[in-house]
Amino acid sequence: MATVTESVDVHVPLHTAYNQWTQFEEFPRFMEGVEEVHQMDPTHVHWKTRIGGVEREFDTEIFEQQPDERVAWRSTSGPDQVGVVSFQPITDADTRVTMQMEWTPEGFAEKAGSLMQLDDRRVHGDLERFKEFIEARGTETGAWRGEV
């Protein structure tokens, strides 16, 4: 199983960073390779990705969601993965966003990419683009404050 942990500090309050992260359908705006995301209900999300020329569709289940703290998910179809994104206040106006993921690379290309830490760079890039996205807006596009 491959693992990655990456963090980024964003210049927005904790609730703004968290609220934006709960807007899963906005992920294609800052996640490379994510073409579509559809939230089917509060705990189930359908993904369509194209990474390295490989198209995939899969579902994930949010099994833990604590407002302003963390969102954790696991795959229910497609690639085997589990992850959590956590939010930590640095100041009243700054937040650290940390993503931890584990997955099983499939096929030669994914296994080679994992060995070369390309997945670490992708997650780092996605967090940097999230930072640019939310800092440029200054406010979230929506929010879901429910607990799971």
Percent of the chain scored above 90 by pLDDT?
82
Mean pLDDT of 86-98: 98
pLDDT(111) > 90: no
Given a cut of 80, whether residue 108 has pLDDT beyond it is no
Q: Is residue 4 very low, low, confident or very high in pLDDT (cuts 50, 70, 90)? A: very high
Instruction: Decide if pLDDT at 49 tops 90.
Output: yes
What pLDDT score was predicted for residue 30? 97
- Which is it for strands 34-41 and 94-103: parallel, antiparallel or unpaired? unpaired
* Cα–Cα dist 59/73, whole Å: 10
pLDDT of residue 109: 73
CB 25 within 8 A of CB 38: yes
**pLDDT at res. 54:** 84
For position 148, what pLDDT does the model report? Answer: 95
Average pLDDT of the segment spanning 64-72: 98
Tell me the pTM: 0.94
Question: What is the spatial distance between Cα 98 and Cα 86, in angstroms, rounded to a whole number?
Answer: 5
Mean pLDDT throughout 124-136? 98
The predicted structure's pLDDT at residue 127: 98
For the chain, which domains are there?
2-22+62-137 (3.30.530.20)
pLDDT at residue 110, as a whole number: 76
Nearest Cα to Cα of residue 29 among 124, 144, 99, 134: 134
Per-residue pLDDT, averaged over 74-79, amounts to 94
Question: Of residues 119 and 142, which shows the higher confidence score?
Answer: 142
